[in-house]
Amino acid sequence: MTTASRNHALGTLRTPRFATGLLLLFAAVVLTFVAGRMGPYPTLLRGWLFGFAIWSCAPIGAMTLLLIHRLTGGRWGNAVAPVLQPLAAMMPLAAIAFVPVLTGLRSIYPWAADPSQIDPDVARWYLSEPSFAIRSLLALIGWSVLGVTFALGSGGRLLAALGLAFFGLMISLVAVDWYLSVEPHYVATAFASMIAIQQLLAALVVAAVLSPPELEGKVARDVAGLLIATLLGVVYLEYMTYAVAWYGDLPHKAEWFLKRSTTGWTIALVVAFVVGAVLPFTMLLLSSVRSSRWGLRITGLLLLIGTVLHITWLLVPAFAAQAAVIATGAAVVALLAVVSALFGRSIASVEADHAQ
């Protein structure tokens, strides 16, 4: 890390906004632990996982996009760097935000509460509390180092290549651990890939919604092309997962989809598909939309709605007291959004001081 990068990081840490955001996050983590793990409200921990799943997509996706851009180059990466770099620098906050999940495994995951629910070999060699914690900490610490390093512009191409390989390995593990194992009898080989592409899409969506001034003309069309590619990736993998499960006609897979086939969840999925996929995809086919900051902002908002509904459809049906889980998750997302805004403002203020 260069001296300028180190001074920039230290300057960010000293700002009142950053201190306020960090204090707010720590207070929320402690309160959730006390009320959820030690108190009578385990639903708080399930809602925290749900909220974390939504919010963490953008920092993880931003980190990955910075690694990709370091290898491939392109003006699109320079244009959205003012958004992606602060997002990637939030990876240590994501590690802190995951603490309630680590401390509340038995309140969230059936296999942690009762290991007899899964095969003994799986419980012994893979899906146990210590191994879950080791994999999660390895991923979050590694991603935090990568996110901060490349957010400060200090990473080289070799580190970017190794970082992408590390990301591919760890997301294959923790996507299953964190999200799929809430229903441990269901298996989907494409699930981790879908989550990874969903994270890339989420980071691009945030960049499109915030739309820095450089996002115009050809650069905007490049970002629009990336939005189309990642959107199609998520839709394709979700559809193929369903098609394979339907052809396989296996009871444990059918049960997973049946939980998500009630009237309410079907409506949520249809809205996610129409509002969050079909409509923005159609809009992005128009050259005037692809070339416009406002066009990208509108499509980004639609994609954001689709992303939230899709993750809700994936996770919430696994839990009891679904309304409480959704309400808690919404509060967690709002809290983490406030922390993110404070962190982003602290970075902006430090950059403005350096510019002067």
Domain count for the chain, please give it. 1
Q: What does the alpha-carbon distance between residue 279 and residue 270 come to, in Å, rounded to a whole number?
A: 12
Q: Domain residues for 295?
A: 3-355
Q: pLDDT per residue over 122-152, tens digit each?
A: 888 888 999 999 999 999 999 999 999 999 8
| 2-18 as b/e: b if 16+ CB within 10 A | eeeeeebbebbeebebb
pLDDT digits (tens, 9 = 90+) for 270-325: 999 999 999 999 999 999 888 888 899 999 999 999 999 999 999 999 998 899 99
- The answer, as to whether pTM is greater than 0.75, is yes
- Torsion over CA: 17, 23, 29, 35 (sign): negative
Contact 101, 178 (CB under 8 A): yes
SS3 state of residue 127:
coil
